[in-house]
């Protein structure tokens, strides 16, 4: 990651939520909040942050229990992480921001757009579904996050989390993934923010048809599929 203009933590319901600010900090540039995927941390946006900093105020947040943010004793849900994002926005006096959400970060962005529409100007969501029907059959059957994502987890674990807290995070996140609350079609139809819903054409977890459906349900939605380039 590039050097941050500032970093900080916000206490929310017994957890310490880490954030960092990059780019334009004069209050005249649109804020963009980057929300990482599950078992990750905001450093996973290291290639994206430098591209955005000339034109935007960029805020990254480590989701509850992940990266440099801590867990609390409260049950972990996507909505509780949404409340953490709102707390960071309030701390930084940001009334509205564009949201970039990857995987779990996409679920959080959707939750924000549904329950806090006044705080979301637009969204870019990649690798997220809106209910269990959007999970690929292999993912539902396996349900073994350490097995499926072991190498990525290992790097995240070594980078910013101690083993004990990482194991607690696994215990907290597995119920969220195995029994996602999901969103309704009516809720998606009520989203006000212009939204780009994206997926890679070889994604192993999310069903492409549901991504396309989400883009149609959201009034100002569009779908984008990233195609794999052929290699010789």
- Tell me the C-alpha distance between 15 and 72, whole Å: 5
For residue 26, name the pLDDT band (cuts at 50, 70, 90): confident
Residues 6 or more apart in contact with residue 121 via CB below 8 angstroms: 30, 96, 97, 98, 193
Tokens 């029907």, residue located:
133
Give 58 or 131, the one with higher predicted confidence: 58
How many CB atoms sit inside 10 A of residue 59's CB? 23
The 10s digit of each residue's pLDDT in 199-211 is: 999 998 999 999 9
Whether 214 has a pLDDT exceeding 50, the answer reads: yes
Tokens of 90: 């309030």
pLDDT of residue 162: 53
pLDDT of residue 183: 94
Whether 37 has a pLDDT exceeding 70, the answer reads: yes
Q: At what angle do helices 163-178 and 150-160 cross, to 10 degrees?
A: 140
In the predicted model, what is the mean pLDDT of residues 185-199?
A: 97
Strands (E), the chain: 6-12, 15-23, 31-35, 57-61, 97-102, 120-126, 195-200, 221-226
Burial of 230 (0-12, 13-18, 19+ CB in 10 A): exposed
Whether 117 has a pLDDT exceeding 90, the answer reads: yes
Cα 32 from chain centre: 13
Give 204 or 216, the one with higher predicted confidence: 216
Tokens of 70: 């801590």
Which pTM was predicted? 0.89
Q: What is the mean pLDDT of the chain?
A: 88
What are the structural domains, with CATH classification, of the chain? Answer: 6-226 (3.40.50.1820)
Distances (CA, A) of 194 to 153, 185, 189, 223: 32, 16, 12, 11
Give 27 or 165, the one with higher predicted confidence: 27
Cα 28 from chain centre: 25
In the predicted model, what is the mean pLDDT of residues 78-94?
A: 96
- Tell me the C-alpha distance between 221 and 197, whole Å: 7
- Tell me the C-alpha distance between 134 and 136, whole Å: 6
pLDDT of residue 228: 83
pLDDT of residue 141: 40
- Tell me the C-alpha distance between 193 and 123, whole Å: 7
Secondary structure tally for the chain: helices H, strands E = 9, 8
Backbone torsions φ then ψ of 136, nearest 5 degrees:
-60, 145
Distances (CA, A) of 2 to 50, 51, 152, 187: 7, 11, 21, 37
pLDDT of residue 148: 46
């Amino acid at each position: 990651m590039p050097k941050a203009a500032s970093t900080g933590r916000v206490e929310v319901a017994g957890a310490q939520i880490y954030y960092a600010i990059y780019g334009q900090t004069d209050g005249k540039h649109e804020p963009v909040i980057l929300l990482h995927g599950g078992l990750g941390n905001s450093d996973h946006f290291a290639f994206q942050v430098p591209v955005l900093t000339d034109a935007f105020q960029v805020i990254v947040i480590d989701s509850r229990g992940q990266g440099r943010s801590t867990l609390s004793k409260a049950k972990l849900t996507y909505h509780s992480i949404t409340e953490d994002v709102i707390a960071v926005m309030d701390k930084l006096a940001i009334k509205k921001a564009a949201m970039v959400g990857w995987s779990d970060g996409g679920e959080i962005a959707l939750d924000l757009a549904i329950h806090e529409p006044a705080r979301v100007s637009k969204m870019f969501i990649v690798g997220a579904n809106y209910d269990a029907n959007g999970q690929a059959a292999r993912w539902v059957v396996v349900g073994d996050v350490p097995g499926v994502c072991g190498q990525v987890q290992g790097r995240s674990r070594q980078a910013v989390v101690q083993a004990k807290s990482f194991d607690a995070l696994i215990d907290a996140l597995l119920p969220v993934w195995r029994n996602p609350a999901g969103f309704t079609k009516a809720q998606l139809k009520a989203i006000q923010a212009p939204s780009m819903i994206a997926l890679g054409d070889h994604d192993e977890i999310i069903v492409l048809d549901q991504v396309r459906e989400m883009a149609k349900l959201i009034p100002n939605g569009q779908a984008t599929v990233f195609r794999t380039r052929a290699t010789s």
